[in-house]
Amino acid sequence: MALIKRVTFKLNEVFYQKPFHITNSVRSSSKVIAIALELDNGIIGRGEASPSFRVNGEIETVLMGFETPISEMLRNREVQRYRPLFDTLDKFSRSAPSLKAGVQYAILDAFSTLISTPVYEILGGAKEYVETDFTISIDSLENTVQDAKKASEKGFKILKLKVGEDLPSDIARVLAVQEALPSMHFVVDANMGYTPKQAVTFAEAMVSNGVKMDLFEQPVWSDDFDGLRFVRQHSGIPICADESAKTRFDALRLIREECVDYINIKLMKSGISDALAIVELARSAHVGLMIGCMSESGVGIAQSVHFACGTGAFTHHDLDSPFLLKETTPYKYRTEGCRLLPIG
């Protein structure tokens, strides 16, 4: 038996290689919270929260104030009985989901060390590696094509193109990349930037020009479930929910109302407990799954790598933050080109 002794937080800043531009947002850096969960035998489990005000309404300085309450909630509880611990942390599903994710992973990480078994094997051990796409943020047409060519030269087989601020420019940029890289496949992410009719116009342009567009991610506002369904019914391209799908209850509604073909699970939105529930909901309803990330550094991306390889639930993997940040120290994973491989 191993008991949790304390949980501590540390606020860090990570920097992008170049400004990261999505719909109505440009950032050069992001804040992450490093989480350490110490057991009474000296084992330390690590996790990370990558807070988002845009998606979750989180503010980093506010989340830091949860350190003492969370530590008190978990102190002297058995780390190997992680399900009841997850249930306790589910109280933070709406107020601090990224913290919930990081602390839940720190619990699994400590348990993993205790029993000498990697987290991905605890979660099922379904895959030995995943391949990530590479994200090209909003930029000029020339820069978009240049960045896409560089990513292709590095071996990335799927590009995620950000759109959503200017419909004609967005269409022109995607078509220019397609012309430069005719065999490339794409995920296109509007980050809630379009109206339903604009989204359909964009999709029609992609279909008519033969763009290999695997997914159209979050074309409309997060609360516009009717709009998502409208785009799905009229686009001819699989529709994926991101900002609309935070908790298991969001996922259940999206599935029940037939709004989407795919759901993008991000641990920073859902935590591990809700992510596991969404996996089973999607499997039961034959809805596809993508796994994404925010701005996680080495520890944070390890969480998603182990989750994805453990469950084997995803056909699309958007875990490219290690390739977008200036400095990342891998934690219990390694890279081989666009492959991410979990290690113990």
Q: Based on the residue annotation, tell me whether 266 is a catalytic residue of this protein.
A: yes
How far CA 331 is from CA of 34, 192, 200, 328, 340, in Å, comes to: 12, 32, 41, 9, 11
5, 266, 269, 332: the active-site residue: 266
The helix/strand/coil state of 314 is: coil
Q: What six digits make up the tokens of 335?
A: 């890279």
H-run or E-run covering 339 = strand 339-342
Those residues with Cβ within 8 angstroms of residue 233's Cβ, 6 or more apart along the chain or in another chain? none
The answer to whether 162 is a known catalytic residue is yes
- Which of 100, 160, 162, 332 does the annotation list as catalytic? 162
The CB-side HSE value for 76 (13 A sphere, CA atoms) comes to 1
Residue at 183: amino acid letter: S
What contacts 68, CB < 8 A, 6 or more positions away? Answer: none
DSSP letters along 239-300, please?
A: EEESTT--SHHHHHHHHHTT--SEEEE-HHHHHHHHHHHHHHHHHHHT-EEEE--SS--HHH
Helix (H) or strand (E) holding 6: strand 4-22
Residue type, 148: A
Q: Are strands 239-241 and 213-217 parallel, antiparallel or unpaired?
A: parallel
Residues annotated as part of the active site: 162, 266
